[in-house]
Amino acid sequence: MWKIYGMLTFVMVMWGLNLPMLKYLLGFVGPVTMTSVRIFTAGIIVFLILTALRIVRMPRRAEWKYIIPGMLLNVVGHHYFLNNGLTMTSGTNAGLILGTGPFLTAVFSSILIRVFPKVQWLGVFLGLAGVSSVVLADGGLSGISRGDVYVFLSILVQVLSFLIVAKAAATLDPRLLTAYMLILGGSTLFVISLAAEPGGFAAFGSVPPKFWLIFALSAVFGTAVSHMLYNYSVGKAGPTKAAIFMNLNTVVALAGSALFLGELITLRHLLGLLLIITGVLLGSGAAEDMWKKRRGRVRIEGRG
């Protein structure tokens, strides 16, 4: 299991750094156009890796019921909302909003099994309070930008996709699932970009050399390798345990936005981060598990 935890830690660092990279890329090319090319490129990279590992095969008919909805949620929905959202909100706001992923995963997982303890509802409340302390601070409900809403929708649809990935892992290697979702999702986003951003591909002709370096890092590590490893980890550890690591994603995203984008991290952001992390520990059941294990050790030591 430590191998899986190591993978998840690597993925969260990559995803956290990917946020300011995306913010930079979107300064040159439209969000849907840039995303479609980046995602399709990532899909090709994953297929090349899996071909080298000799685990590529055509999906069975029954497996397409996971690939199609997984692609629409995990790739098309998530990246469409995230990249459009980043053009309308700050990297720090986006990083904190993405931090709601762990307890959203716990909520949906618990709803499916119809078990949701009161302490987890407390975690949900604290997590939402953490996000609200940031996005509502500039003028209440009227201060919420469309970008903030889009980023929240991006993590919401991604969390739903993780439940599909966990189901698909029973018969289909999650890494191969990732490859098909990226190729099909990138193609779908390309079609959307033709309608949403006509002529958008012309912008690639005037980008600086630095753009292509950041684009390559984002496509290879931020998307291809990271999505492949995360979906593999979800298949092994389950969506709830894997989602707990998203806290690290939030921390790295905040640090990256400050270092690379020059955005200011305020006390309000740190308070929101603290509330989100507390909410995740309670909402995911991690705090309860740690408490039970500690009580168990105390009882054993008491008997000894």
Task: Identify which has the larger pLDDT, 2 or 230.
Answer: 230
Predicted TM-score of the model (pTM): 0.75
Instruction: Provide the 10 A C-beta neighbour count for residue 55.
Output: 12
Band (93; pLDDT cuts 50, 70, 90): confident
User: Does the pLDDT of residue 211 top 70, yes or no?
Assistant: yes
Band (110; pLDDT cuts 50, 70, 90): low
Task: Identify which has the larger pLDDT, 256 or 83.
Answer: 83
Nearest 5°: the CA angle 270, 275, 279 is: 145
Q: How many whole angstroms separate alpha carbon 246 and alpha carbon 8?
A: 9
User: Does the pLDDT of residue 8 top 90, yes or no?
Assistant: no
pLDDT (average), residues 157-172: 86
24-36 pLDDT per residue, tens: 999 999 999 999 9
Asked whether the CA dihedral 279, 284, 290, 293 is positive or negative, the reply is positive
Cα diameter, the chain? 74
Nearest 5°: the CA angle 126, 284, 145 is: 45
Task: Identify which has the larger pLDDT, 169 or 111.
Answer: 169
pLDDT (average), residues 135-139: 52
- Report which of 123, 130, 94, 96 is spatially closest to residue 107, judged by C-alpha positions: 123
Band (140; pLDDT cuts 50, 70, 90): very low
Tell me if residue 263 falls in helix, strand or coil: coil
Q: How many whole angstroms separate alpha carbon 39 and alpha carbon 184?
A: 9
- Report which of 222, 246, 240 is spatially closest to residue 286, judged by C-alpha positions: 240
DSSP-derived secondary structure for 187-214: HHHHHHHHHHSTTGGGGGGG--HHHHHH
